[in-house]
Structure formats: C-alpha cells, structure tokens
C-alpha cells in the first residue's frame, strides 16, 4: 500500500474507521473475556477527557511538564501504599504489564552485575504459570529461565523452587494471581527462601494488584502477596487492567530507591545532549499518565471497594452456573475474578469453537477455556450460561476427532513433538496475519 496521494476530510476518515470496525469483537456487549476492562460510560468519559487534556504532552522529560511529573510520582506513591509498601518504596509508571516486568527483570540483572559480579549467565526461577512477559524478558536480556512446576492446585511448587536455586540464581518470581488459573502463588514461602538466599523476589500482580487489596478489605481470604511480605523486593500492578485507567498505564514498584536506580538508563556521550530515561520506551504518552491519576482521584478507595464487590458478585454467578452444567468444572480455587474451566465430556477446544459460533470470545489454554470477569458482564451472565450449556451438550455428543476451526489448530500445535516447530508455526501464523489485506 501507499499513503493516499490526496488527503481525506476528518469526517470521512472517521466514517471509514467506523465501517472498518464493524466486525470487531463486541466487548461493550460483554462478548469478550479478556483484553478490555470497562467500568461505565461516566468513568470512560473522564478517562477520555483526562487523556485528551494531555494528548500532546510527553512524559519523557520530567522537567518540561511538572504536572505530569507530579501525576506520576503521586500515582506511584498511592499504588505503593495500596500494595503494602513501607516508606521508601518507589517505582515508575510504564506502558503496561509487559514493560513493568521487563523493567523489574532488567533491574535485577543490573543489581546482580553490581552485587553478584561473578555470575556470567544469570538465572531466574519462573513458575511455569508466569506471564510470557518473563520469557520475553529472558529473551531480550539474555538471561536463563529455570522453570519450576506448579502443584495440583496450580500454585508454584515451593520445594521445587528451593531445589532450582544455585550459585547463578539472581531472581525468583511469583504471581498474584497468575493468569491461567487465577490463583496466587505462595508468595510468603517463596519470598522467605529468596530472602534467606540473598536473591531478589518479584511479585507479578499486573492482573490482581488493583483488585486483591480491596478483596482483602472486603474479607475475602487473600493470601499475603505484596510489598509487606518479607523478602518481596518488587511488584508490578497494571492500572489499565482492574485499575480501570486507560490503556498504557502500569506500575513497577521497588522496595527502595537503590533498586529502582538499576532500572534507569542514562547516556552521556550523545551529540544530542545528555539522555536519561526511566523505562523501556523513549516518548511516554502524557495522556496515559494523566488518565491514571484521574482514575485514582475519581474512584477513590470507596469506588474500588464497590467495584471489587460487584465484580466478585458477578464472578460467583458465572462460577456457580458453570459448575452446574453437566461435565464442566472450574480448575483449582481461583482467588479473584479470573478462572479457567474444562469439560470432562468432549473436547474443550471444540467447546471454545461452539461458543465462538455463538459470539462469545474466550481465550483458549491447554485443556481449558479462560474467563476474566469485569462489570460489563453483569447483564449477560444468564445468556452466556444458557449458550454454554447448549454448546457443552453439543460437544459432549460429538464424535472424537470431529474438529475444525481453532480446535483443529490447537490440536495440531499440541501434537507437534518439537517446541521449535510449534514456535515456527505460530510465528508464521502471525507473519501471515499481519499483512495488509489479510
């Protein structure tokens, strides 16, 4: 394609865009169970106004826009407090969970270069359920992932973590909760091992950081998971997930500023002048920082508590409805509003395809379908459960091997004996998908 030779008036451009999005997933109607966190229209209007107020500003330089610097430092301070940070806990805003994780890992690598200089190939202990952003960090920063299994309850196996530590280990990780089954790892046990062995410990609370603290206040039995746990040295929490800010807003918080300094990048030899940047990106959209601050001001603790209560009430309706359907069961004991279910009657991916045919988009994972509940789902619980029951009955009576669509694709990837081949296949799939006209 070429850039159009002649420009188009704004009204026509917007019309065209409206037309182009007509086949997109209908998240407003509660048809998706990942990717979008929507609270309500009033809140979204505030986000848009706050974002557009700072639409042109750039958070790269903390000197130019002092209000943005204030927003960011205040957001970090409030989030550190929410996540059990003692005075001195400090961090940065980033563009999302992945960048927060990349920064936490990069800081650990820099810390180890200073504090454990003998290590040539640093190792990081990762329960297999951690978000792939950690694998990406290993890939980008040339670190060695040491995977440990999870127990039958899908929580990281502490004994295996202990066994995996050696003289090259620099960092251990736990999730609160991990995405696949929505369960919190035994953070206290893992972090105490890290402390004893002189290692860093990062809690990935990108998904739960803005929900678990309120659930705890509401009386839910949430295991200790945050900076108040002895041995936890950093934590990530996404404001653009259950914090309900606009996209492009996450926090990474360290127990003290010594650790945060390892995240910063500075270069002094550039003909363009002195350059310093706190995180992975250069330009940082001012709108995302401003909208995050606006969200915390607007919702307040009472708003987050009320939202958390509502989300859990909706989640309970889904979970009990699913458990009542013949053959279906929830995996493990999810700690919040994220969970996976499977079927004992028929193929789970075929069930995913049947739901897709009925307009419901659920993420597939090995052996289960995944759901992440938000307030937008309040009005569709019954419709969903009725479609799910119908789909589950249909799949239960399908002959084995009678699969098409995503079920066939997942089946094929699962059947490949060679991980490398599976990776190549997925890369090629993306390669084809990201071509104009695909």
Ligand X SMILES: Cc1ncc(COP(=O)(O)O)c(C=O)c1O
Q: Which residues bind ligand X (CB under 6 A)?
A: 96-98, 101, 131, 133, 175, 178-179, 204, 206-207, 238
> What is the gyration radius of the CA atoms in the chain, in angstroms?
23
Shortest gap between Cβ of 205 and ligand X (angstroms)? 8
- Closer of 343 and 374 to ligand X (Cβ): 374
Q: Give yes or no for a contact between 36 and 363, defined as CB atoms under 8 angstroms apart.
A: no
Task: Judge whether 292 and 243 are in contact, CB under 8 Å.
Answer: yes
**237 pairs with which residues across the strands?**
251
CA 130 to chain centre: 10
The tokens for 259 are 């650790």
- Pick the closest to residue 242 from 356, 380, 372 (CA basis): 372
Q: State the nearest-atom distance from the C-beta of 160 to ligand X, in Å.
A: 20
Q: Which is nearer to ligand X, 205 or 233 (CB)?
A: 205
Pick the closer one to ligand X by CB: 289 or 407: 289
> Which residue's CB comes closest to ligand X?
97
Which residue, 204 or 347, has its beta carbon nearer to ligand X? Answer: 204
Of 96 and 127, CB closest to ligand X: 96
Reference 260, options 67, 76, 130, 59; nearest CA is 76
DSSP-based helix, strand, coil % in the chain, nearest 5: 45, 15, 40
Q: Find the shortest distance in angstroms from Cβ 207 to ligand X.
A: 4
Of residues 207 and 351, the one with the C-beta less far from ligand X: 207
Question: Residue for token digits 């659930």?
Answer: 215
Type and span of the H or E element at 277: strand 275-277
- Whole-angstrom distance, CA of residue 329 vs CA of residue 34: 20
Q: For 168-231, give the DSSP string.
A: TEEEEEEESS-TTT-----HHHHHHHHHHHT-EEEEE-TTTTTTHHHHHHTT--PPP-STTSTT
Token pair listed for 318: 């889904």
Alpha-carbon span 119 to 168, nearest angstrom = 6
How does DSSP classify residue 86? P
Instruction: Identify which of residues 179 and 254 has a Cβ nearer to ligand X in the complex.
Output: 179
Nearer to ligand X, 107 or 175 (CB): 175
Q: Compare residues 331 and 403 and give the one whose CB is closer to ligand X.
A: 331
* Alpha helices by DSSP H, 211-285: 212-217, 257-261
For the CB of residue 204, give the shortest distance to ligand X in the complex, in Å: 5
DSSP reduced 3-state for 339: strand
Q: Determine the distance from the C-alpha atom of residue 182 to the mean position of all C-alpha atoms in its chain, rounded to a whole number.
A: 11
65-87 as b/e: b if 16+ CB within 10 A? beebeebbbebbbbbbebbbbee
The least distance separating ligand X from the CB of residue 363, rounded to whole angstroms, comes to: 10
Which H or E run contains 342? Answer: strand 338-343
Return the number of the residue (336 or 403) whose C-beta is nearest ligand X. Answer: 336
End-to-end CA distance of the chain: 13
Shortest distance (Å) from residue 247 CB to ligand X: 8
- Shortest Cβ distance from residue 400 to ligand X (Å)? 32
Nearer to ligand X, 156 or 407 (CB): 156
Nearest residue to 200 via CA among 113, 97, 96: 113
Q: How far is the CB of 129 from ligand X (least distance, A)?
A: 9
The alpha-helical segments, DSSP class H, found in 286-401 are 286-324, 348-357, 381-396
CB 144, min distance to ligand X, A: 21
| Closest separation in Å from C-beta 87 to ligand X | 27
* Residue 434 C-beta: closest distance to ligand X, Å: 18
């Amino acid at each position: 394609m070429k850039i159009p030779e002649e420009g188009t008036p704004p009204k026509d451009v917007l019309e065209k865009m409206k037309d182009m999005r007509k086949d997109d997933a209908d998240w407003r109607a509660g048809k998706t169970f990942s990717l979008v966190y929507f609270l309500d229209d009033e809140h979204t209007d505030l986000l848009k106004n706050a974002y557009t107020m700072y639409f042109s500003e750039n958070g790269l330089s903390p000197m130019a826009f002092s209000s943005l610097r204030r927003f960011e430092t205040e957001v970090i301070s409030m989030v550190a407090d929410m996540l059990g940070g003692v005075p001195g806990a400090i961090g940065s805003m980033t563009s999302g969970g992945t960048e927060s994780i990349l920064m936490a890992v990069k800081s650990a690598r820099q810390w180890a270069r200073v504090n454990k200089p003998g290590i040539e190939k640093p190792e990081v202990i990762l329960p297999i359920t951690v978000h792939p952003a950690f694998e990406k960090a290993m890939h980008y920063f040339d670190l060695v992932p040491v995977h440990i299994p999870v127990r039958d309850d899908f929580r990281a196996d502490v004994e295996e973590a202990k066994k995996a530590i050696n003289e090259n280990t620099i960092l251990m990780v736990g999730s609160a909760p991990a995405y696949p089954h929505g369960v919190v790892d035994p953070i206290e046990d893992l972090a105490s091992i890290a402390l004893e062995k002189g290692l860093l410990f990062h809690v990935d609370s990108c998904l739960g950081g803005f929900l678990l603290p309120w659930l705890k206040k509401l009386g839910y039995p949430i295991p200790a998971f945050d900076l108040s746990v002895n041995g936890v040295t950093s934590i990530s929490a996404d404001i653009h997930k259950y914090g309900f800010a606009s996209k492009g807003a996450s926090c990474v918080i360290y127990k003290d500023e010594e650790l945060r300094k390892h995240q910063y990048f500075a270069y002094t030899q550039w003909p363009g002048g002195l350059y310093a940047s706190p995180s992975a990106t250069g330009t940082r959209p001012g709108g995302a920082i401003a909208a995050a601050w606006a969200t915390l001001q607007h919702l307040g603790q009472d708003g987050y508590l009320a939202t958390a209560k509502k989300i859990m009430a909706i989640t309970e309706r889904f979970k009990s409805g699913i458990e009542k359907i013949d053959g279906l069961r929830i995996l493990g004991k999810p700690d919040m509003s994220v969970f996976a279910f499977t079927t004992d009657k028929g193929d789970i991916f075929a069930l995913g395809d049947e739901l897709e045919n009925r307009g419901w988009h659920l993420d597939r994972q090995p052996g289960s379908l995944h759901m992440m509940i938000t307030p937008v789902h309040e009005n569709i619980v019954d419709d969903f459960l009725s479609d799910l029951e119908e789909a589950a009955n249909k799949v239960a009576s399908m002959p084995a091997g009678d699969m098409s669509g995503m079920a066939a694709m997942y089946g094929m990837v699962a059947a490949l004996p060679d991980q490398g081949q599976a990776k190549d296949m997925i890369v090629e799939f993306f390669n084809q998908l990201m071509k104009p006209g695909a």
